[in-house]
Amino acid sequence: MANLNKKKAARRAMQKSKRAPSRKPKLDTRLSDAEQFLLPTYKRQPIVFTHGSGSYVYDSTGKKYLDFLGGIAVNALGHAHPRIVKTIRREAARAIHFCNLYHNAYQGPLARKLTEISGMSRVFFSNSGAEAADGALKLARLCARTPSDAPDKPAPKHRILAMQNSFHGRTFGGISVTFPEKYRHPFAPLLPGVEFVKFSDIADLESKFDNTVCAVIFETIQGEGGVHPVSEAFWNRARALATQHGALLIADEIQCGLGRTGRYFAYQKFSSKPDIVLIAKPLAAGLPLGAILTNEAIAARISPGLHGTTFGGGPLVCATALEFLTIIEDKKLLENVRARSAELRAGLTKLAAKFDFIREIRGEGLILGIELSVDGNPFAAEALRQGLIINCTHDFTLRLLPPFIITSAQVREFLRLFELVLAKTPKSISAAPAQTAATATRFAQSAAR
């Protein structure tokens, strides 16, 4: 009788399951809202990140990801760092914004700290790196203008030299000195007087530099352009030419600065300084803040009303930036960046010997590029499936921008996941351009000093 009852119960359960409608995956309305209402400016993955902790982020399904992109060099302290959270909570309860007609408690101290670690003298706070780049171009044109120049016409000294493969932001000024045509051509005509130089090509720089040039601008390490460090010889020649012709040398360290190379600034491995330094990305640990750092001679050309910003340098963001820099010192994170970089390079070199489509490893500190001989985008997609966040830039370069707080164990975790990605990803038939003589060494450890 007991067996008969069990059989009847099983038949009823089977019939009930057949009658029940099949459940469809629940649609995340946040994704549909984004699809319907946002401007389609990004090719976003269909994932909703909800929170992070240290070097990890989590999506709405609870899946965990090792973050080796860091919000594209923004989250240098990882996610939800307790000291940063404490600072933001404290300052948000006091004041989020004061206008720049008045002082706040943190702008001056932060400016002092930035001048101390950079060797510069003056600071202007902006909302973003792109705004900082725009402001630097204005400063260059301002400093080049003489009292005899007609106020309503371009000054004779107005040309700006930028680099091939460069990226300096999305404002009109920023895209005017950004090289890829896909960023510039849809918005032409742009800022006049810009000419592009082959990156680290001294002969090309010399052929285009004359007394009509007011500035030369380049990233100390090109990020979006494929993680290419500038050569020391090129830096030195650019510095000499700028001095000779009375032009400004502008170093864009928005992605590679503030500790990412194991120094506060990537240019600090050279013996000479730029005239202007641009920073942003990690400065306020995820809050929007950029800055122009410059010297007294340039600052002397500025007077009230010539430049400004509404939100740049508010009390909340400046307090957070001060705490970010204090944490770097307290926790000796520059040393950690150098140590973890060495471990990453050693592991990547072993993988390069195993996978022959790895063409070159370059970069410095925790801004590293892995150039492939095949399309890199499928590898970034497979990494996401494996719970690893990286990205592909310049089509063939996988870019790593992990937080400064990563541990040896997390480096090993990355190398394990990355090897799995390299092994599982189908290889595209498209091939990267042939290397130039400057990058002929197969696994060059560029600018590793």
Residue 168: CB atoms within 10 Å: 30
Rounded Cα distance, 179 and 182, in Å? 9
Rounded to the nearest angstrom, the gap between the alpha carbon of residue 15 and the centroid of all alpha carbons in its chain is 58
> Strand 397-400 relative to strand 221-222: parallel, antiparallel, unpaired?
unpaired
pLDDT of residue 154: 82
- CA separation (Å) from 321 to 9, 285, 292, 326, 328? 66, 7, 15, 9, 11
Q: Which residues pair with 217 in a beta bridge?
A: 250
3-state SS class at 220:
coil
Q: Are 179 and 169 in contact (CB under 8 A)?
A: no
pLDDT of residue 110: 98
Rounded Cα distance, 128 and 132, in Å? 6
Rounded Cα distance, 305 and 175, in Å? 25
pLDDT of residue 80: 98
Write out the two tokens for 316: 């909340």
Residue 280's contacts (CB-CB under 8 Å, 6 or more residues apart) are 126, 128, 129, 132, 254, 289, 290, 291
Q: Are 446 and 352 in contact (CB under 8 A)?
A: no
pLDDT of residue 440: 34
Q: Side chain identity at 147, as an amino acid letter? A: P
Residue 96's contacts (CB-CB under 8 Å, 6 or more residues apart) are 314, 315, 316
3-state SS class at 169:
coil
pLDDT of residue 439: 39
Give which of 228, 267, 264 is closest to 250, Cα–Cα: 267
pLDDT of residue 183: 94
Write out the two tokens for 32: 């549909």
Q: Token match 């009390």: residue?
A: 315
Q: Are 64 and 51 in contact (CB under 8 A)?
A: no
Question: Mean pLDDT per 10-residue run, the chain (449 residues)?
Answer: 55 54 65 92 92 98 97 98 98 97 97 98 97 97 90 88 97 96 94 97 98 98 97 98 98 98 98 98 98 97 93 97 98 98 98 97 98 96 98 95 98 98 83 45 34
Rounded to the nearest angstrom, the gap between the alpha carbon of residue 333 and the centroid of all alpha carbons in its chain is 18
Residue-by-residue DSSP string for 290-324: EEEEE-HHHHTT--TTSS--SSTT-HHHHHHHHHH
Rounded Cα distance, 120 and 293, in Å? 6
Q: Are 160 and 177 in contact (CB under 8 A)?
A: yes
Give which of 297, 321, 272 is closest to 119, Cα–Cα: 272
Q: Are 245 and 209 in contact (CB under 8 A)?
A: yes
- Burial (CB count <10 Å: 0-12, 13-18, 19+), residue 128: buried
